[in-house]
Amino acid sequence: MPAAALRRVARQVGRQLAVIAVALAAGLVILGVSGFPPIETYRVMATAAFGTGIGLANTLRWATPLILIGLSVALSFRAGLFNIGAQGQFFVGAFAAMVIGLGLKEGPPVLVVPLGFAAAGAAGALWALLPGVLRAYWGTNEVISTLMMNFIALQFTNFLVRVPYNEGGSTGQVLATATLPPALRLATLVRGSELTLALAVALAMVVVAAAYTGRTTAGYEARVLGANAYFAENGGVNVRATIVTTFLLSGLLAGLAGAAEMYGPIGRFIGGLQEDLGFNGVVVSLMGLNTPWGILLSGLFFGGLQNASQQMRLLTDVPRALVTVLQGLVTIAVTAQILRVSLRRPRTPRGGQQGRTERMGEPGRETQPVARSGLS
């Protein structure tokens, strides 16, 4: 790697670390004001998440879906598309994995499990297809459409759990499907922890995503689209196809996260499970500078936080909601910081062959460089 590029990476990493430090410092203040020992609390949490073998294994367990969802978000962010629908794509993916797993209970695991992952990926991609097509052909705002798709997915899977798949799993208020037979569950990697082979899927996807964005034409075109949509259009990138492909891949990764949870640690679909995963994926992606390897690291960090929050009640008197507070603080810090530096939200032309600027005949309003340099 050339020295200049290395320096740039070092600077970005340093900045992200500073961002975490600021957010954690704010957390210290909150703890102090609330009358808890701040440093001690952090020490206990860090030990719980990273200090022991089991702790580390469970951190990796929580990092697994976060990495997959983070990659899903990053693919769309890099193309300048704001897919916040990972949550819904995760729901339908997880459910599709259960449909395969419960439907082929007796089948050979070497076939059923991969089939389940494939179905989950396909379901996630399908769920992302509609917002993608609407965006590509009519310029429909993907932030709102993917948000709507999240709520639709939640209700849809709630219905599936409550009616056609309501066999044995539900107790009281909790609606759940039956549990997958042990033969179909991925192997536990560290005894006494919840870490399963699902981690390998996440790691493999990091490598695949890195290869896709760094070494393929399609990945390159998506990046160009994100960096400068007008350049992409004039440079011969098929904008519509790139938008749709990006949504499909993004949905596929979120769907895989669903299968990873089902065949991995959870084993059954619970209505509305892990409903903050989609948002946490956004944070993981931003923290990781929207790059696959960065996401691997930030996934570990947030996996550790998640793991610590699971154990908080046993370890300290501090409410476990502290972790949620920290997640919010890190997000604010990272978005306030990152946009000024590297992730200035790129804009894409809305479908058609012309960007809307030309169509509107008022270049000053929509053309970012003019507006920015003129006003700031």
What character string, x for contact with other proteins (CB under 8 A) and - otherwise, covers 26-65? ----x---x-------------------------------
Does 89 contact other proteins by CB under 8 A?
no
Does 327 contact other proteins by CB under 8 A?
yes
Distance, in Å, from the CA atom of 88 to the CA atom of 75, rounded to the nearest integer, reads 16
Distance, in Å, from the CA atom of 20 to the CA atom of 294, rounded to the nearest integer, reads 14
Distance, in Å, from the CA atom of 21 to the CA atom of 228, rounded to the nearest integer, reads 32
Stretch that binds other proteins, among 4-12, 64-72, 193-201, 363-371 (CB under 8 A): 363-371
What character string, x for contact with other proteins (CB under 8 A) and - otherwise, covers 153-192? --xx-xx--xx-----------------------------
- Close Cβ partners of 287 (under 8 Å, ≥ 6 residues apart): 16, 19, 20, 294, 298, 301, 302, 330, 334
Strand partners, 176: 270
Does 360 contact other proteins by CB under 8 A?
yes
Stretch that binds other proteins, among 93-101, 119-127, 180-188, 322-330 (CB under 8 A): 322-330
Q: For 295, how many CA atoms within 13 A lie in the half-sphere containing its CB? A: 31
**CB nearer to other proteins: pick between 56 and 323:** 323
Q: Alpha carbon of 239 to those of 236, 338, 366: distances in Å?
A: 8, 26, 18
Stretch that binds other proteins, among 98-106, 200-208, 209-217, 360-368 (CB under 8 A): 360-368
**CB nearer to other proteins: pick between 131 and 265:** 131
Question: In terms of DSSP H, where are the helices of the chain?
Answer: 3-33, 38-46, 53-78, 86-103, 109-138, 142-162, 198-215, 217-227, 229-234, 239-261, 277-287, 292-315, 321-341, 356-360, 363-366, 368-375
**CB nearer to other proteins: pick between 15 and 347:** 347
Residues that bind other proteins (CB under 8 A): 30, 34, 82, 84, 134, 138-141, 143-145, 147-149, 151-152, 155-156, 158-159, 162-163, 276, 279, 282-283, 286, 319, 321-329, 331-332, 335-336, 339-340, 343, 345, 347, 350-352, 356, 359-360, 364-366, 371-372, 375-376
